[in-house]
Every structure is written in C-alpha cells, then in structure tokens.
Amino acid sequence: MDKRLFYEALFNQTSDCVAVFDLEGRVMAVNKKFEELHQWRQEEIVGEVAPMVSEENRSGLLEMFQRILAGEEIAGVEIVMIRKDSSTFFANVSVFPLKDDDGGTIAFVGIGRDVTENKKAEELLRKSEKLSIVGELAAGIAHEIRNPLTSLKGFMQLLKEKNTDYVDIMLNEIERINRIVDEFMSLAKPQSIHFVSVHLNQLIESVVSFMQPQARLHGVEIIVASKIELTAFICEPNQMKQLLINLIKNAIEAMPGGGNVRITVCSVNNNKVGINIMDQGLGIPEDGLNRLGEPFYSAKENGTGLGLVICHRIVEAHQGVLSFESKLNQGTTVKIVLPVSSSAPANGSH
C-alpha cells in the first residue's frame, strides 16, 4: 500500500481531532473528526492562525509551540476550544513536533479529544462529595442543638404556668431555632414530600406579603408580574414557599442601597412554568456565578452557601431547573423552570 494513502487514511479515520500547524501557528490541514467537532471545513480555516482557540488564549498556544521547539513535551493539556458557531467545549490536547529527515521541526501536530462530558461528571462527583460532607455536618450540628433545645422548651413550659412576661417570646424564638434545625436535617437525609394542587399566583402573593415588610426596611419594593393564571400547579407548598423566601431574601440583601425586586411568572413550552426573580443589585462576577449552589460557597460576606443548596434540592425534587444570570452593577436574575404537573402523585410521597 502506498505510504501516502496509508497515512491519509490514518489521519482521517482516527477518532481524535487532528490539526497540523506551520511554525507560525497557521493551520495547514485538519482531519474529518476535526471538521465534525469544530464545524469548520478544512478549506475554511487553512492559513488561519489557530481559529479554534480564543484570541486571549492564542498567544498561549503560540508560546506552547516555542516550548516544543525548545525540547519540552506537551501532552494531556486541557484547553477550552471554540466551534465555528462560537460555542465552546473542553478538549484534552497533546502537541507533537513534525520533523524532517534531518531532525528539524517543520510543523506541529495537535491531537485533541472532547472531554466536556468527563468534566461534567467530575463536577457532579465533586458536588456530590461536598453534599455528603454537608449532610454529615448538618446531622451532627442538628443533633447537638436539638438536645439542649428540648430541655429549654420544657423549662419554658413550666415558667409559662407562672405567667412570666417574656416566656411567649422565648418560646417563639426556640421554635424558630427548631425550624432552622429542621433545615439542617433536610440536608442530612431525604424528606418525604407531599405534592398537592395549589394556585401558584396566590402562593407567590402570600410569600411576597410575608417578605414585603422586611423588604421595605431595606428600601426595597417587591413587584409581581404574572402572565398566566395557574390554578392547578402541583407542588409541595411549604417547600415552594421556602424556595421563594430564600431567593427573595437573597435579592433583598443584594441591594444594600435599595431598589426593586421583580418577580415574573410565565409559561414555558406549554407544560412548564417559569418563575424569574430579578434584583437591581451589585451583580456576581462570572467565576462566582459558576460556583453558586456549592456548599460553603456564598457571594455574601457571612454566608455559608447552604441556603442555595437547599434551593437546588427543592427544585430538583420538583423535577425542575434552577439557574442564574448576572451582570456586575446591573443585577442578578434567578430563573426557576418547573413542570406544571409533577410526575409525583398529588398527596403522595416523593
């Protein structure tokens, strides 16, 4: 078999992307897998300087070529790659020098493989491990808090019989601590969820009425704009209220100088409902935005990040999606997308 035909077949049949660059970083040739993954045809990018890498990272790639010329080996490097439509993916890349008969480097061969799904799996595993640690920590804290609370509540009941003035206030505060402990326990182990049919707009209005006094203390006004009248929304009402309270509280705290929190409700693809909570706060930088929902990470100075962990759990239990969009000095939008009718039966457990 002709060697040229053999190498051409090998070049195009491999399952990895292959690109050949000249010494200036210009593309000389790419294989069919490269065309398939990157969406460029060979004739579109030959002569271009590494269009599959962003402009800010292009100098780094050219520097990599210089390091190879100096004798360094470049293998297994993770790089963010760009497709023709500007979408991106993670690739594991190795670059080798192509030498002539005299041993001089005449070109560079880059071999890459899409590892985006692997990265996602690693991220899910990392979050799962963190959640496991949070669960163990939460169970321990809840146990330590609940023991003295039981004793305190018993003594308060005895004092109440003597009509002590501040006992009711103290009992209310103890009950509030108990509710916080319950939140920790919800992180530690799955809870039974009882789904029922509710009027979604009324549920949101009740949460807003509850939060409005706190909002006004901070110079914040909560505005609700609903484009649909959903009277038979299947959910666990208490968890849905907890979700909205947590997110509205975050929005209020994001605006130390006051402003508006706008809540919009709309239909999504007919069988889903979208609830958006928009603030006019300071916004969140991109690196922080990607970490929202991680245990122990918070954009707030004294936050633990556990509030958003609980929010994610509630949305996942309702088979929905929770996402965030933010621009610095413009504000943040929290997007909740939920099925109108959960697959869990009404009044059943999930």
Q: Give alpha helix (H) positions in 258-304.
A: 286-289
Neighbours of 4 (CB within 10 A): 8
Over residues 180-238, the pLDDT tens digits come to 666 666 655 555 678 899 999 999 998 998 888 888 888 999 999 888 888 889 998 88
**What CA–CA distance (Å, rounded) separates 218 from 220?**
5
**pLDDT grade, residue 279 (50/70/90)?**
very high
- What is the pLDDT at residue 349? 39
From the number of C-beta atoms within 10 Å of its C-beta (0-12, 13-18, 19+), residue 124 rates as exposed
Residue for token digits 């090998």? 10
pLDDT value at 347 more than 50: no
What region, left, alpha or beta, does residue 270 occupy, with left being phi > 0 and alpha being psi -120 to 50 degrees? left
Contact 56/80 with Cβ under 8 angstroms? no
**What is each CA distance from 241 to 74, 98, 180, 204, in whole angstroms?**
53, 63, 15, 8
Longest distance between any two alpha carbons in the chain, whole Å: 103
Q: 164 or 98, which is more confident?
A: 98
How confident is the prediction for the chain on average, in pLDDT?
79
- What is the pLDDT at residue 342? 55
Contact 100/54 with Cβ under 8 angstroms? no
Contact 283/329 with Cβ under 8 angstroms? yes
- What residues does 49 pair with on adjacent strands? 26
- What is the pLDDT at residue 124? 72
Give the pair of three-digit tokens for residue 150.
């039981």
Q: Quick one: average pLDDT of 132-141?
A: 64
Residues of the chain above pLDDT 90, percent: 16
φ and ψ of 107, to 5 deg = -165, 175
Q: Quick one: average pLDDT of 305-326?
A: 85
Give the pair of three-digit tokens for residue 88.
């991106």
**pLDDT grade, residue 350 (50/70/90)?**
very low
What is the DSSP secondary-structure string of 28-88?
EEE-HHHHHHH---HHHHTTSB-TTS-HHHHHHHHHHHHHHHTT--EEEEEEEEE-TTS-E
Give the pair of three-digit tokens for residue 196.
């029922």
How many degrees, rounded to 5, is the angle at CA 220 between CA 236 and CA 237? 5
**What CA–CA distance (Å, rounded) separates 43 from 187?**
55
Identify the helix (H) or strand (E) that includes residue 277. strand 272-278
- What is the pLDDT at residue 118? 80
pLDDT value at 345 more than 60: no
Q: 234 or 6, which is more confident?
A: 234
Q: Quick one: average pLDDT of 285-314?
A: 68
Torsion on CA atoms 138, 324, 219, 179, rounded to nearest 10:
-20
Give 9's DSSP letter.
H
**What CA–CA distance (Å, rounded) separates 338 from 334?**
13
**Of the candidates 268, 279, 273, the residue with the CA atom closest to the CA atom of residue 211:** 279
pLDDT value at 341 more than 80: no
Q: 290 or 67, which is more confident?
A: 67
- What residues does 326 pair with on adjacent strands? 332
Give 263's DSSP letter.
E
Over residues 148-178, the pLDDT tens digits come to 677 677 777 777 666 665 666 667 667 767 7
How long, in residues, is the chain?
350
**What CA–CA distance (Å, rounded) separates 266 from 271?**
11
Q: Quick one: average pLDDT of 289-297?
A: 64
**Of the candidates 102, 106, 80, the residue with the CA atom closest to the CA atom of residue 93:** 80
Give the pair of three-digit tokens for residue 169.
């206030």
**What CA–CA distance (Å, rounded) separates 272 from 339?**
4
Residue for token digits 């040739």? 29
